[in-house]
């Protein structure tokens, strides 16, 4: 594998715990992993806009990978509209950063706004441009979330301009193809998992004697948590922990928690439902290990990162087959695909599963194996590196040494 200089461009705050921040940070580390350790050994710089005036302009992520903060608008967090207002400033900063010896071999942008800035400069400098979306406008709209009016059009334009588009899962790749992105430039690069943190071995969060069902919805009002509570009616021996949403001290005033609490009382399961609030990243492995099953019942946008993390901890996943979970969870092998919006049927299925230790044990073993072999960051980094090789010029062949004729040697 050839060694390259890679520029990752994002608007995520890499000090944060959002999915885009984790994905870019871990991808940078995986790409920079030395060849002696089985990695690509690329030289990686992550470029993002400065959000804190006191932050250092350059910092080290790991050996071979650095973070570079660019001045592009005010040094503060911006909403989507503010980021768009300063996309030209970001492009100017990238242009300055990529002059001379700092010019990368390949540019990989993450997100549509970062993609706008990176695509313009990469095209100008004739650098191969790679794009990951981290979710599409169409999916956000189906989930009832506000979408910038320019986003869908720009997503299609950027995809058609890229040398390579790395979709997060097969459904996203199909959606991009329908938007007009050429199939030959489409590849799937899933979200990885830290298989050193998320393991079956290790401490688990305390729980009662009942088997624990765990729900980690993207949002408490996305339908997944409500369906989990309705399903619990049909699983009389289990408890349900719903994590996510506000901090624990704010649960009492949160409208979504209030609605779900009233629902649990109405269905006479309130004594078996616990709201854990937002979970710190360091506490997530312990919480996952405490569960018998992870429930991911959102009808539209289930959370892919928690499903893969649960599998890495040996916890089978019961999920709607939407988005990345349709790829990661092998139904009947590492968990189960269930229909959205049918909590009674899901509940009856959960009751049967919890009574079948042999099946759950087999799924647990298979889940760990799949998470490690398919979704470990080492493999994801290697796949990204091979994808970059597809769009980079072939190396110049080594000149052949001239061989003197035999008769000249004999004379």
Q: What is the CATH number of the domain that holds 317?
A: 3.40.50.2000
This prediction has a pTM of 0.91
* Closest by Cα among 90, 176, 104 to 134: 176
Would you state the pLDDT for residue 223? 87
Would you state the pLDDT for residue 302? 75
* 93 and 229 share one domain: no
Q: How far is CA 215 from CA 81, 107, 177, 200, in A?
A: 32, 37, 32, 18
* 366 and 219 share one domain: yes
Residue 32 forms part of a structural domain: yes
- As averages over each run of 10 residues, the pLDDT of the chain (411 residues) reads 90 88 96 91 97 95 96 95 96 95 95 98 98 92 87 97 97 96 97 96 94 93 93 97 92 94 98 95 96 93 88 98 94 97 97 98 98 96 96 73 55 49
Would you state the pLDDT for residue 399? 61
Would you state the pLDDT for residue 400? 62
Would you state the pLDDT for residue 15? 85
Please list, in sequence order, all residues whose beta carbon lies within 8 angstroms of the beta carbon of residue 381, skipping any fewer than 6 positions away. Answer: 27, 29, 30, 31, 33, 39, 40, 192
How crowded is residue 337: how many other Cβ atoms within 10 Å of its Cβ?
A: 16
**Across-strand partners of 66?**
45, 60
Q: Reduced to 3 states, what is the DSSP secondary structure of residue 213?
A: strand
* 54 and 121 share one domain: yes
Would you state the pLDDT for residue 139? 86
**How many structural domains compose the chain?**
2
* 13 and 100 share one domain: yes
Residue 294 forms part of a structural domain: yes
* 156 and 253 share one domain: no
Residue 411 forms part of a structural domain: no
**Across-strand partners of 213?**
240, 293
* 343 and 248 share one domain: yes
348 burial level (CB within 10 Å; 0-12, 13-18, 19+): middle
């Amino acid at each position: 594998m050839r060694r390259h200089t890679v520029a990752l461009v994002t608007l995520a705050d890499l000090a944060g715990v959002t999915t885009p921040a984790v994905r870019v940070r871990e991808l940078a580390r995986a790409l920079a992993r030395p060849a002696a350790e089985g990695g690509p050994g690329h030289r990686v710089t992550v470029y993002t806009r400065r959000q804190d005036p006191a932050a250092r302009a350059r910092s080290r992520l790991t050996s071979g990978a650095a973070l570079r903060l660019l001045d592009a608008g005010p040094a503060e967090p911006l909403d989507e509209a503010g980021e768009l207002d300063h996309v030209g400033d970001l492009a100017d900063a990238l242009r300055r950063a990529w002059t001379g010896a700092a010019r990368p071999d390949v540019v990989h942008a993450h997100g549509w706004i970062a993609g706008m800035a990176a695509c313009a400069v990469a095209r100008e400098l004739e650098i191969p441009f790679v794009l990951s979306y981290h979710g599409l406008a169409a999916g956000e709209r189906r989930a009832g979330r506000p979408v910038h009016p320019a986003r869908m059009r720009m997503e299609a334009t950027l995809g058609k301009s890229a040398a390579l588009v790395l979709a997060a899962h097969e459904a996203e790749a199909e959606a991009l193809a329908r938007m007009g992105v050429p199939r030959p430039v489409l590849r799937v690069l899933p979200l990885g998992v830290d298989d050193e943190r998320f393991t079956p071995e290790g401490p688990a969060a305390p729980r009662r004697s009942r088997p624990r069902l765990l729900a980690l919805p993207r949002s408490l009002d996305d339908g997944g948590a409500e369906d989990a509570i309705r399903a619990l009616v049909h699983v009389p021996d289990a408890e349900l922990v719903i994590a996510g949403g506000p901090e624990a001290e704010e649960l009492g005033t949160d409208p979504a928690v209030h609605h779900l609490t009233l629902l649990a009382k109405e269905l006479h399961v309130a004594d078996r439902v616990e709201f854990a609030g937002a979970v710190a990243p360091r506490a997530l492995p312990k919480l996952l290990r405490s569960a018998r099953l992870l429930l991911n019942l959102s009808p539209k946008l289930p959370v892919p990162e928690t499903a893969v993390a649960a599998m890495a901890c040996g916890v089978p996943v019961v999920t709607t087959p939407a988005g990345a979970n349709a790829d990661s969870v092998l139904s009947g092998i590492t968990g189960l695909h269930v229909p959205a919006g049918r909590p009674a049927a899901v509940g009856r299925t959960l009751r049967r599963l919890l009574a079948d230790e042999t099946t759950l044990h087999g799924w647990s073993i298979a889940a760990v194996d799949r998470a490690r072999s398919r979704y470990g960051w080492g493999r994801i980094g290697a796949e990204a590196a091979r994808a970059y090789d597809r769009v980079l010029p072939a190396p110049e062949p080594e000149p052949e040494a001239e061989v003197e004729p035999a008769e000249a040697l004999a004379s």
